Amino acid sequence: MSDPTLLVLASLADGDKHGYAMLEDIQRFAGVRLGPGTLYGAITRLEQHGWIRPVRSAEDRRQPYTLSADGRRYLEEQLSELNQIVKIGLKRLKHA
Amino acid sequence: MKGLALWFARWYPRQWRARYGREFDALLEDANLNVLDVFGVVRSALEMRIKSTNVPRLLDMACRDIPHGYELESSVELPLEDGGKILFRSFYRQIDLGDSYVTLTHSSRGSGPAQTILICGKKGEVDGDFRTDETEMLVLQADGTVHRTEQTVKTWLKFDVMIDRVREKYRRGLSAEDIFGQMWSDSDNPLSS
């Protein structure tokens, strides 16, 4: 899974995070190092879709984001599809 | 690297900077950046710039449900080939009675005179994304002239899908800018599906 938008959604699935926290989390759980430009391209698209939204923060500039209900549903659908592909791929490899 | 990245971050469109600029700069200050990250900022800024200049911008919108239909008012800023912009204002009313419909469009482009188009249509056969309708159209020009035509037209059904999505987002309280942004996004744009 290397789609930046899915990585951001997966990162926010266990709690609100600001940009830097997302970069660190994504590197930890997926082994993917996103650049700031790529991350904010994904954040812009996700917010336009209504899948994430900014939340209030005590910090002035480090803006945390949260997953919306639509975003959670979309992530579940996408992961379910990926899971299906992984299952089929592994099954076929066994029989090859 | 940080200084370079922060300098290139100024290349993002003004609208994008107004929304994300402060938090993006904070991220650039926090992160350990390499050359590829700086290139990433340049690429992303250029992509945003291309997006922001090549698409129309919805400035204002109002939507009302009425018996058997709806009314939609909008002001859209359209980009011109010479880099300029022109304002397109329109009022649209659709009344759908099942087998037939009436639409009224009153619109103006820039400082040009407004025109009004009234269409009465009888719905016909549906074939894929299109329906063949028998229509009668009146075009009322600002100089007092009226053109009347009867014709069989192919109606693009995805237009209704797009308008339904706009109305739903408007009911949810989204701003005109957010609604238009989502219309152009991959999953919501009927042109892409």
Q: Is residue B13 less than 8 Å (CB to CB) from chain A? A: no
- The beta-carbon neighbor of A37 closest among B23, B30, B44 is B44
The model's confidence at residue B169, banded by pLDDT at 50, 70 and 90, is confident
Residues of A in contact with B13 (CB under 8 A): none
Contact residues on chain A for B27, CB-CB shorter than 8 A: 18-20, 23, 36, 39-40, 62
Return the number of CB contacts < 8 Å for A and B.
71
As a whole number, mean pLDDT of residues B141-163 equals 89
Residue A4, token pair as written in the block: 């930046």
Report how far apart, in Å, the C-alpha atoms of B57 and of each of B37, B86, B88, B158 are.
30, 10, 10, 21
Give the model's pLDDT for residue B193. Answer: 42
Cβ separation A49–B188 shorter than 8 A: yes
Which comes out higher in pLDDT, residue A81 or B181?
A81
Contact (CB<8Å) B24/A48: no
Contact A38 B30 (CB under 8 A): no
Residues of chain A with pLDDT under 50: none
Identify which has the larger pLDDT, B35 or B58: B35
Contacts of B26 in chain A (CB under 8 A): 19-20, 61-63
Model confidence at B179: pLDDT above 50: yes
Note the pLDDT of residue B83. Answer: 65
Q: Determine the pLDDT at residue B186.
A: 45
pTM of the model: 0.54
Q: Is A44 on the interface with B (CB under 8 A)?
A: yes
Structure tokens at A3: 């789609």
**Which pLDDT band holds residue B185 (cuts at 50, 70, 90)?**
low
Beta strands in chain B, from DSSP E residues, in sequence order: 57-66, 69-79, 85-96, 100-109, 115-122, 126-127, 130-140, 146-156
Of residues B85 and A1, more confidence is placed in B85
Both tokens of B148, joined, read: 């009347």
Nearest Cα neighbor of A19 from A57, A49, A48 is A57
Per-residue pLDDT for B69 more than 50? yes
CA nearest neighbour of B32 among A67, A20, A22: A20
Res B183: pLDDT = 67
Q: What is the DSSP string of A8-36?
A: HHHHHTTS-B-HHHHHHHHHHHH-----H
> CA-CA distance, B16 to B2, in Å (whole number)?
20
Q: Do B33 and A38 touch (CB under 8 A)?
A: no
- Tokens read off for B18: 């107004």
Say if CB B115 and CB B122 are below 8 A apart: no
- Give me the pLDDT at residue A1, please: 55
Q: What is the dihedral of CA A37, A39, A45, A47, to 10 degrees?
A: -120
Residue B191 has pLDDT above 60, yes or no: no
With cut-offs at 50, 70 and 90, classify the pLDDT of residue B165.
confident
- The whole-number pLDDT of residue A35 equals 93
Q: Looking at the partner chain, which of B5, B23, B178 has a beta carbon nearest the beta carbon of A61?
A: B23
Range from A11-15, B55-59, B165-169 carrying the lowest mean pLDDT: B55-59
Q: Does B25 touch chain A (CB under 8 A)?
A: yes
CA–CA gap between residue A31 and residue B135 (Å, rounded): 59
